Amino acid sequence: MPSLPDDPSFEHLRHQARALHRAVAAGDSEALARVQRSFGTFDRFPLATAQLVVAREYGFASWARLKEHVAVIDRYRWPRRTGMPVVDSPADEYCRLACLNYTSDDPASWARAVLPPEPHIWAAAAAGDTARVAALLAADPSLARREGGPHLWEPLAYVAYSRTGRGVPLLTARLLLDYGADPNTGYLWGGLTTPFTLLTGCFGEGEQGPVRQPRHPQSLELAEMLLRAGADPNDGQALYNRMFGTDDSHLRLLFRYGLGRGTGGPWRARLSLASPAELLAAQLRWAVTHDQRDRVRLLVSEGVEFRTGYVELALVNGNTEIASFLRSAGASEPALDPVSAFVAAVLVGDSWDPAVVPSALAARPGLVVWAAANGRLDAVRRLVSLGFDVNALGRGDTPIEQPWQTALHQAAGDGNLAMAELLLSLGADPSIRDKRFDATALGWAEHQGHPELIELLTP
């Protein structure tokens, strides 16, 4: 079954249905097979049936349900399909500079934000200017839920995503909530289906890290205010953005307000999102894979199911302490296949069957990248000595085989000088460009701002 693409276009979906309708009329065998799989036999094949087939192929029960799904994405997409609104006032400019945008976030922008003398409510909210917000709401209470400013957000979103560190954002947020602001407000960044909610803004971070995408200055206090006001704690984007680090303060707060329980809130009612249990299973999987020991203990203590599959996951990523903890908590013992047993052993320096090495080379050609991403110097040495290519392409964020970057790229981006020096001594080629950004390892070091790596890799 194909997956619905990110940021789907309903016009493109209509085109697919019309194309299927024409292909069936022409007797195309592949089109007829598609209809048989998703609809069954038929005597007549009107366009409505073609639409139903397309909807079912994407996992929707009807064309109407698919249309509704895309309409929700269009309604909440950020920026809107017409593009980011033109910044046409000093107040709009303030909002643009003050808030996270997940494209070009930079602390220097927040420092440059200058609030004009009489800002609109969205800029006043971003500035935590409670007095100005109060005056505007007194004149027009409907402003509490009106979308505006350069992002077309409600005012409370500008409070949650502002990073200037100025004003009194907690009082401003409390005032907006008292006037009826929605604590579950959110938007779909780039048309992706996981909403960037107010909680997402509070907790911050993400793929660009805590410097470029920091937490709100009063992260936990503002988040708890929103949760008390009814924000649903099962926030997939907030969990994702914070899973890269090891601080669990957000999880502890969310668990107090029902994380992992309930139906998933208004956003899950609008879109086909992961269930609360599925969100926590993904968190546990990431924590086990990335040796986040305290987080594993927290999740298990909160009742997240851990008994099947997770010991194996810990072992094949060299995380033996987590494996031991899970066993002691009652997890089942896995029977590792030969390649998995080799990977588990080579990462930590246990003995392995030499006869398995050729199969492991074929199954995990980018294993050096994963070992480097986890800072396993000895494992990198062992793997290269066994014939694993020090210049192989792989992924460093998750242990799957996908040709993204070399181990040297990973070390350069991580700022791991010892790993980079080891890789170079083992024959790593600094001129290789990665397959995602077409950059060298030096480019990765420059992008992440690691001066020692820049010096090492500069020709």
Q: Can you spell out the DSSP letters for 55-106?
A: HHHTT-SSHHHHHHHHHHHHHHEES-TT-SPP--SHHHHHHHHHB--SSS--
∠ CA(189), CA(191), CA(195), 5° rounding?
A: 50
Q: Model-level pTM? A: 0.91
- Statement: residue 409 has pLDDT above 90: yes
Give pLDDT tens digits for 142-196. 999 999 999 999 999 999 999 999 999 999 999 999 999 999 999 999 999 999 9
Q: Which CATH code is given to the segment(s) 90-273?
A: 1.25.40.20
Give pLDDT tens digits for 257-297. 999 999 999 999 999 899 999 999 999 999 999 999 999 99
Q: Where are the alpha helices (DSSP H) in 104-208?
A: 107-112, 121-126, 130-139, 155-161, 169-178, 198-203
Tell me, yes or no, if the two domains 90-273 and 349-457 fold the same way: yes
Indicate the average pLDDT of the chain.
95
For residue 300, the cross-strand partners are none
Residue-level pLDDT at 80: 80
∠ CA(375), CA(379), CA(385), 5° rounding?
A: 135
Q: Which helix (H) or strand (E) holds 187?
A: strand 186-189
Residue-level pLDDT at 84: 53
For residue 99, the cross-strand partners are 162
∠ CA(58), CA(59), CA(60), 5° rounding?
A: 100
Burial of residue 201 (CB within 10 Å: 0-12, 13-18, 19+) is buried
Structural tokens at position 191:
């048309």
Residue-level pLDDT at 392: 98
Do 188 and 73 touch, CB atoms closer than 8 A?
Answer: yes
The domain 349-457 is classified under which CATH number: 1.20.120.140, 1.10.3720.10, 1.25.40.20, 1.10.10.10? Answer: 1.25.40.20
Q: What percent of the chain has pLDDT over 70?
A: 98
Do 360 and 352 touch, CB atoms closer than 8 A?
Answer: no
Give pLDDT tens digits for 238-268. 999 999 999 999 999 999 999 999 999 999 9
Give pLDDT tens digits for 330-363. 999 999 999 999 999 999 999 999 999 999 999 9
Give pLDDT tens digits for 79-127. 887 655 556 799 999 999 999 999 989 999 999 999 999 999 999 999 9
- Tally of CB atoms within 10 A around 385: 9
Domain ranges of the chain: 10-76, 90-273, 279-328, 349-457
Mean pLDDT, range 313-324, rounded to an integer: 97
Residue-level pLDDT at 88: 77
- Residue 30: alpha-carbon gap to chain centroid: 36
**Cα 226 from Cα 228, distance rounded (Å):** 5
